[in-house]
Structures are given as C-alpha cells and as structure tokens.
Structure 1
Amino acid sequence: MTDRRTELKEALAATGRGDRQSLERVYEMTSSKVFSTIVRIVRQRERAEDILQEVYVKVWRRAARFDPAKGSPITWLCAIARNSALNDLRRSGRKQEIPDDEFPEVADTNLVAADDWLCAAEDSAALEKCLEELRGDHRRSIKMAFFEGFSHSELAEKVNVPLGTMKSWIKRGLAGLRGCLGG
C-alpha cells in the first residue's frame, strides 16, 4: 500500500508540472472515493458526475499547490470535492434527494492506503465512539453538517431551531469531539 501512496503523490506532483497522463493516473486511483464524497452530499448521481469533472479540472489547475507535508493526496482531493459539492448545493439548492439504496456500491479496485483515507477504520471507530458520547442534538447536527453537507441555516430550518442555537450545538459538539479525540 505504501507504494500506491507514493505513486499517488508522484502522479499529483507530475500533474502539477503539467503532465496530463499523470492527471489520468490520479483520476484512476482516486475517482471512486472522490465521487462517493460528492454523492453523499448532493445525493444526485448526475449532479455528482458533473461536480466530479469540475473537481479534476480544479486538480489540474491547483496540483502544483499540493503540499504533501500538510496532508495526504486523498485528503486534499476529498476536501476539494467536499467544498465543490457544498458550493454546488449553495448555488442551486437541494433538489429532491434520492434514497441511499438508489446508489449502487462502486467497486474500488484502486484502493489507497487506509491510513490515507478520511475515514480510516481506526479513526472512524474512534470518531463514532466520540460522536455517540455527544448529546443527541449535537451529534445529529454535526453528522448532518459534515457528512451530509447541510449548511447551518439549512439545519436550523430543518430541525426548526434558531440559527444561533444550531451554531451553538455544532460548536459545542465539535469541542466535545476535540476533547474526546485528544485534539
């Protein structure tokens, strides 16, 4: 797995130098994970596919800015994907959501090392444990904001609480997670 991680870093660096074949390799190695990040937020396959294309255009333009000392390539790519998906939601609003079972599982034959993925099993288990220790309203708000891409105002409207209350719940919940996770 370390070889794949190194290969991805090298391909991203070469992309930053203008190598189109390296961008293709970055896409091959990461697109299924990036797509799943996007589809979780926008909940529409067609929109997610359009956003995926936008993400890799941004990667082409910004690859030279990637700094491996600040994080892994997959984390950087997923951050671009998440931000792109959230921006799309803000621009166009949420359309009718498709239930989870409407999306087929995407086989990922190009696995990136688990410790490079945002939700590595060990970290994911620790996060889940810490989330369960939060108050219910804090936990639900954080999950909907960070894993489903709802804005604070959308959440406040959805659960019928003032915006200030929602912001407070999320802030307190994140403080609780930091304490629990030792951050």
Structure 2
Amino acid sequence: MPSSRPPFDHEAALLACARGERFALRALYEHEGRWLLGVALRIVRDRAVAEDVLHDAFLQIWSRADSFEPSLGSARGWIYTVVRHAALKAVRDPGRLQLVDTPELAALSDAQQASEATDADRDLDTDSLERCLQRLDEARRACVVHAFVDGYTHEQIAERLATPLGTVKSWIRRSLASLKDCLA
C-alpha cells in the first residue's frame, strides 16, 4: 500500500546541512541510515566496521554538503556515493577511518532505531528500482550490482565477468543513464 506521506526531499536536506541546520542531518540519517549501513556492510562485510564507515560518511556529508552540485546528479545518489567511497576506502586501508564525535552525529544512533520502524518509503523505492533493473540486459545489470552493491572496482568486475574493462565501464555508464530515465 503506497504511503500518503510526500517523498523525502534529499536535496533540501543536503542544502540545509550545508547551511548548518542539524535537524537535516538527523532527517537524512533517519530516512536513509539503515539502507546506507546495508551498503557499507555489503562492501566491508563486518558490522562494526560498517557502522564506523557510516559514522565517517555522515561526518563527510555534514562537512561537505556544500560541495553537492544538483546539476551533476541527485542528492540521494551523492549521499550513497559518499558512503560507498568511505566503505571502499575502509576496505583498501582499514586504518584510514578517522572517527570524530560531534553533537550532530551523537544523536544519530538513537535516530537509527527510530527509523527502522518504517518500510513504506523503502518498499516503493525498491520496487521501482527492481523494475528498472529488470529492464537491463543480464550482463549490464550484473555490472551495476557488482559496482554499487558489492563495491567491486571496474577492474574486478571486468575480471569476474571475463569482459574487457572498457566494455564494463561503458555498460555501467549506459546502464546508470537507463536507470535514471526509468526512475524519473
């Protein structure tokens, strides 16, 4: 059953973070935190490290929200990219995480528990994404999933699929454009 609530405005929340409005960071965490933790967990494969990655990523989101450029992509995509890159850095260099406690982030763990109660928004987003992913050719879908869910590099995907690196990069770029059109 679709939710009657308006969709969450990721861009407005990021812009509010850039202005220093702490409630916006909390709102982002409440809305996306558990899904972002899942992204980090799929990449680092350790819950404690994934939680550290998420903490570090939200610190980056808070401090670098002013670098978000709406003309280059969606706010939600930007947020997920920050988390994905933080997770990949943690895998490549486990000592690189630099956790800093801030008042903005201290309340986020409580917010995570509260956010776990609502699934309506996620179900709608997941259904749409699944539908759009199914429209992709199987090999192209595998490239996108390996890159954005499993956290593989383009080189790892090319090796895994026994496909030239340039082809993998092209498939991912074109598939993302297709997904963006489908989800619009």
Normalising by structure 2, we get a TM-score of 0.64
| Range with bigger deviation, 47-56 or 170-179 | 170-179
1:167 corresponds to: 165
1:25 corresponds to: 27
1:129 corresponds to: 135
1:151 corresponds to: 153
User: How far 1:166 moved relative to its partner?
Assistant: 4.3
Secondary structure of 2:14 counterpart: helix
Alignment equivalent of 2:8, drawn from 5, 8, 11: 5
Identity %: 27
Is 1:109 the counterpart of 2:107 in the alignment? no
User: How far 1:65 moved relative to its partner?
Assistant: 2.7
Q: Given that residues 41 and 148 in structure 1 are in contact (C-alpha distance below 8 angstroms), is that contact kept between their aligned partners in structure 2? A: yes
For 1:109 and 1:58, the matched residues in 2 are separated by 26
* Deviation by residue 1:8-44 (Cα, 9 ceiling, x = unmatched): 5444322211223332232222211211121122221
2:107 corresponds to: none
RMSD: 3.7
For 2:177 and 2:22, the matched residues in 1 are separated by 43
Secondary structure of 1:5 counterpart: coil
1:82 corresponds to: 84
Alignment equivalent of 2:57, drawn from 52, 55, 58: 55
For 2:18 and 2:180, the matched residues in 1 are separated by 35
Secondary structure of 1:148 counterpart: coil
Q: Partner amino acid for 1:5?
A: F
Q: Given that residues 53 and 86 in structure 2 are in contact (C-alpha distance below 8 angstroms), is that contact kept between their aligned partners in structure 1? A: yes
Alpha carbons of 1:49 and 1:114: their partners in 2 closer, same or farther (altered >3 Å)? closer
For 2:73 and 2:173, the matched residues in 1 are separated by 22
Q: Partner amino acid for 2:8?
A: R
Q: Partner amino acid for 1:82?
A: R
Q: Given that residues 40 and 147 in structure 1 are in contact (C-alpha distance below 8 angstroms), is that contact kept between their aligned partners in structure 2? A: yes
Q: Given that residues 40 and 53 in structure 2 are in contact (C-alpha distance below 8 angstroms), is that contact kept between their aligned partners in structure 1? A: yes
User: How far 1:51 moved relative to its partner?
Assistant: 0.3
User: How far 1:84 moved relative to its partner?
Assistant: 1.3
User: How far 1:63 moved relative to its partner?
Assistant: 1.6
Q: Partner amino acid for 2:49?
A: R
Larger radius of gyration: 1
Gaps of 5+ in 2: 95-112
